[in-house]
Structure 1
Amino acid sequence: MKVTLQPCGAVLEVRAGETLLEAARRLGYECPHGCRNGNCHVCEALLVEGRMQQQGVVLDHGEFFACMAVPLEDCVVLWDGVLALGELPERELACQVLACEDVGGDVFRLRLLAPAGRPARYHAGQYLLIRREDGGESAFSLASAPGQGRELELHVLARESSAIELLAFLRRQGFAQVRMPFGDTHLAQLPDGPLVLIAAGTGMAQMHSLIEHCRRSGFAHPVHLYWGARTPEDFYQLPHWNEWRQVPGLVLHQVVSELCGWSGRCGLLHEAVREDFPDLSRFHVYASGSPAMVYGTLDALVEAGMDAHQMRADVFAYAPR
């Protein structure tokens, strides 16, 4: 039997004798539920079309509890709070500040500990919002991978007063109030093909999360990382960089744009990618950096023959062109 959920639009294949909640959970949907016996009313929904049976009573319209109701035929249901596959619920967490370490290039590695009773749920590549002293919020990519448990890692460039003041506030307070997760440039599902990861500056935080997730998940395809900075001194220390050099299938590139006297590669990130891969048709491309950098990279790679749909970046959502 098929049950169509509104407003999310999902269509569930429900087995005979299975409650709507059981079917939704089996298929991987995040949905509101609590006690599973109808007493808490959290999973209350509205039957719009079709018939269901709940505690021996056949319903053809009206309110019901997803934890108890069994569809008898194809139905249409209004059930608020159900999230699409791969989407996680937003949560607000008070996280302990474990450490704020200077890692070079004016970047600080901020380590937070989520509360034990409310685990931080996110996909590799997502970001969080952290509350400032003035009550506003600042966005930072999560450099940690979901498999790391309660510890969250951020890479904060502290050159502007707003970032410097935020770090000082967090040190004084000893905890961080965060909201998460956000962003659709993630690896909820590992792609069936090689990755090209392109990061400028602390955009490396997002790529750090993606790489660590691929390592922990046994990703079978090659991963090519291109990390760009204006000068060699702008590259900061990463805790796993030396380990990454030994990982089969993980290829690391550092590219400097403004100083061509160092021993590594020089130029723009998209130039390095195009030099290495004249044909990008088989790659999944992820980019992280300023809007100007991301769109410049997109245009250059599309000019080289890449389909624009192959590239993902949070910039496309928060700074659409």
Structure 2
Amino acid sequence: MKVTLQPSGHVIELLPGERIIDAARRLGFEAPQSCRNGNCHICAANLISGRVLQNGTERRGGELFTCIAEPLEDCEVQWENVLAPDELPLRSLACQLVDIQDLGGDVSQLQLRIPAGKPLRYHAGQYLLLERFDGELSAFSIASAPDEGRILELHILTREQNTLALVEHIRRQGMVRIKAPFGDCCLPRVPDKPVVMIAAGTGLAQMQSLTQFCLQAGFALPLHLYWGVRQPEDLYQPPHWADWQQQPSLYLHQVVSDVPDWGGRQGMLSEAVCEDLANLADYEFFLCGSPAMVYGTLDALLAAGAVEQQIHSDVFAYAPR
């Protein structure tokens, strides 16, 4: 028997005679509850369709209490504030500016402090929406790892006037409002396969969060980080790069695409990955860049034997092909 939850659209499958909230908990959902006997009303939901048995009475609509309601057939319920496994609550916070540093390559590192007593839960690799001075929202990857306390780190390219103005506005105000977390190209837990991270430009911020999370968790399998830019001047100075170079299981690759006489590695990121690694089906891939870059890399990886279900990018959600 199945219960469809709205507004999330998640579907949970119940065992015979099982109550809705018990099934949700068994399947790893986080749901509001307290008394478990229908008295506190915290777990209340609205029955949209189907039939349930509650306190010996059959119901076909209206309010129900998920801690005592047993579905008699497939149902649909409106149940707010329910989180699926690995899903985190969305928060709106006013953060204090701690510091702005120039990382080179026209990239600014912003460090924001989350308010005391209001922890932000996020997975490595997720992003936030930052409120601009005109009220619009801009997306930036969270470069810090979840276990790094109250500090959120961002890498912002300031070559365009609007992003330069945004950074200067934050500098003057000393505060900024954010919404987070967003994105499913992330690591809720340590992966069970070697990882390949492929980033263009400031997409490195997302990969920094993934890398730090894996290193802090003692991840023992190989980590490959491919970072691509158009010209050498775009290679800014990420804060952990020197430490990463000392990690025996972390392999760093910098690739420049548009300067043929550069002394380092040249070409496309996908070409570098396919040259270096055999058996791409053995790896989990994380991609960050423009939609054109991500889909071009995706096609090249699939053609070389990678498994589509093991390739992740936020581009797939916000710019589906």
Distance 1:226 1:128, change over 3 A: same
Distance 1:25 1:145, change over 3 A: farther
**8 Å CA contact 2:37, 2:68 repeated in 1:** no
Partner residue, 2:11: 10
Within 2, Cα distance between the matches of 1:138 and 1:72?
43
Partner residue, 1:49: 51
Partner residue, 1:185: 185
Distance 1:9 1:194, change over 3 A: same
Distance 1:59 1:198, change over 3 A: same
Q: How does 1:13-92 map to 2 (within 5 A)?
A: 21=21, 24-25=24-25, 27-33=27-33, 41-46=41-46, 48-52=50-54, 57-61=55-59, 62-66=62-66, 68-69=67-68, 71=70, 76=75, 78-81=77-80, 82-92=82-92
Distance 1:122 1:242, change over 3 A: same
Distance 1:300 1:169, change over 3 A: same
Which shows bigger deviation, 179-188 or 202-211? 179-188
SS of corresponding position for 1:148: coil
Deviation readout 1:265-310 (Å, 9 max, x if unpaired): 1211111111102431111111101112111211222232333333
Residues paired across the two proteins, number: 314
Which shows bigger deviation, 41-50 or 236-245? 41-50
Residue 15 of structure 1 deviates from its aligned partner by: 11
Within 2, Cα distance between the matches of 1:34 and 1:176?
35
Within 2, Cα distance between the matches of 1:39 and 1:118?
29
**8 Å CA contact 2:92, 2:180 repeated in 1:** yes
Q: Which runs of 5+ in 2 are unaligned?
A: none
Distance 1:209 1:14, change over 3 A: farther
Residue 43 of structure 1 deviates from its aligned partner by: 2.4
Residue identity opposite 1:214 in structure 2? C
**8 Å CA contact 1:131, 1:177 repeated in 2:** yes
Residue identity opposite 1:133 in structure 2? F
Distance 1:248 1:22, change over 3 A: farther
**8 Å CA contact 2:88, 2:121 repeated in 1:** yes
Deviation readout 1:164-215 (Å, 9 max, x if unpaired): 0100111111111111111111112433211110001100001011111111
Partner residue, 2:119: 119
SS of corresponding position for 1:140: strand
Residue identity opposite 2:164 in structure 1? I
**8 Å CA contact 1:198, 1:227 repeated in 2:** yes
TM-score normalised by structure 1 residue count: 0.87
Within 2, Cα distance between the matches of 1:175 and 1:31?
33
Partner residue, 1:320: 320
Distance 1:297 1:9, change over 3 A: closer
Q: Which runs of 5+ in 1 are unaligned?
A: none
Partner residue, 2:283: 283
Partner residue, 2:246: 246
Partner residue, 2:258: 258
Alignment of 1:210 onto 2:248: no
**8 Å CA contact 2:12, 2:24 repeated in 1:** no
**8 Å CA contact 2:38, 2:68 repeated in 1:** no
